[in-house]
Amino acid sequence: MMTAAESVPILSRAIDQAGDVLAAVREDQLADPTPCAEWNVERLMGHLGVAPANFLAAARGEQVEWGAEPVRPDQGWAEEFRERGDDLIHHWHQAGEGGDGLSPQMAVTELAVHTWDLATAIGWERPLDEGVAQCGLDFMSASLTDELRGEAFGPQVQVGADAPAVDRLAGFAGRRP
């Protein structure tokens, strides 16, 4: 498993990538379906948009309601996301190793999967970061058992071992790349 110090730069890339995808969503795409069952683009944007703030609150030991309905920020999801992402990165630079029971790799995983979901839903044509995807896949493979999949992650979809990490992560998360 990767150390916090090793995964913080990857988390920074995951935040940059997710911010770019959030910024690319057009108003006319908000009601479109996503790979996340029962979530349209707007709902997925809300979930992804509050992820850095939720991870920061959890890392500080605060209670987080992960399924709470997010409130659309006045300044827009991408801007809010990037600000909260910066706060999360700063936290991890200061926290160093351990201490709060949460890892930056867990945040990378959440961001990588839902960035893939949103990118797929809006027809994003640029490639997603393979290093971010590999970090997420490594974490998810080591920690997500069939019992923990719940509603967020469907059964694993088989993807070739030689497929890009982005596709292997999506398949492991129950998506169809």
> For the segment 51-99, what is each residue's pLDDT rounded down to a tens digit?
999 999 998 888 998 878 888 887 788 999 999 999 999 998 887 655 4
Q: How far is CA 104 from CA 42, 57, 76, 120, in A?
A: 25, 13, 24, 24
- Per residue in 4-24, pLDDT tens? 788 999 999 999 999 999 999
Helix/strand/coil for 146: helix
Name every residue whose Cβ is closer than 8 Å to that of residue 137 and which is 6 or more positions away in sequence: 165, 168, 169, 172
d(CA 7, CA 24): 26
pTM: 0.92
Q: Which domains does the chain have, with CATH numbers?
A: 4-172 (1.20.120)
pLDDT one-digit tens code per residue, 21-38: 999 999 999 999 999 878
